[in-house]
Amino acid sequence: MAIKVFLAGATGVIGRRLVPPLIDAGYAVFGTTRSESKVASLKEAGITPVVLDVYDAPTRSTAMKDIRPEIVIHQLTDLPPDLDPSRMDEAIRRNARIRSEGTRNLVDAALASGARRLIAQSIAWAYVPGPEPHRENDVLDIHAKGSRAATVGGVAALEELTLSSPPLDGVVLRYGHLYGPGTGADEPGNGVQVHVDAAAHAALLAIDKGAPGIFKVAEPNGEVTIAKARRELGWDPRFRLEEA
């Protein structure tokens, strides 16, 4: 029987690129969306749609108990298309809420359903300024000010919930800034970057590779080191999906 994967955020930027390799690998994928209008596209992609809101804790818990997945992948975000600068102030607050309250609901549902592993999306640029390249155990900038405070606070909550909810094996993937299909950026920009296909591939690899913990998923540069993801996950930042 195929291993069941519950993909929260199946219609998001990474979720859409993660579905094909999950299907190709033989997993039975159940993907969430908040919109009935996206159900048909999920079915066409070969996954079972689950329509729910991350903040509706009872419905999410019931849905996951019915499915009883072994693996839960958290790719939920609440950001505007193409990261529209005029909408980012509000989006930062919404995204922080998903990372804290939304992750708590997802973790509670995963625990109640008997899932064994939770893989969650985080970011690779939330560190306290200091010596580089940053490693997985470097301190997050939890005393930041302004909008960064909301972002880092949400990240810290997500990571704590993911890593400290036994008996779940928690895996945190700290992604660089995304570029590639669906991201609004065809080429990498400045700072810590990662192609969306390589980001999705890291989540696929983390299903059965790597010990619980944190992995940085970014293209090589002087700001972060990705040696752990290369070594334990077998991850390659050059990975790209083969387009049909």
The predicted structure's pLDDT at residue 60: 87
Rounded-to-integer distance, Cα 240 and Cα 146, Å: 36
pLDDT in tens, 172-193: 999 999 999 999 899 999 999 9
To the nearest whole number, what is the mean pLDDT of the chain? Answer: 94
Asked whether residue 100 carries a pLDDT value surpassing 70, the answer given is: yes
Residue 82 DSSP label: G
The predicted structure's pLDDT at residue 88: 64
Which residues touch 138 (CB under 8 Å, ≥6 apart)? 127, 128, 130
The predicted structure's pLDDT at residue 82: 59
Class at the top of the CATH hierarchy for domain 4-233: alpha beta
The predicted structure's pLDDT at residue 92: 85
Kindly state the average pLDDT of the residues 227-231.
98
Res. 224 pLDDT band, cuts 50 70 90: very high
Map out the domains of the chain as residue ranges: 4-233
The predicted structure's pLDDT at residue 145: 93
pLDDT in tens, 70-99: 999 999 988 766 566 666 677 888 999 999
Which of helix, strand or coil describes residue 200?
A: helix
The predicted structure's pLDDT at residue 147: 87
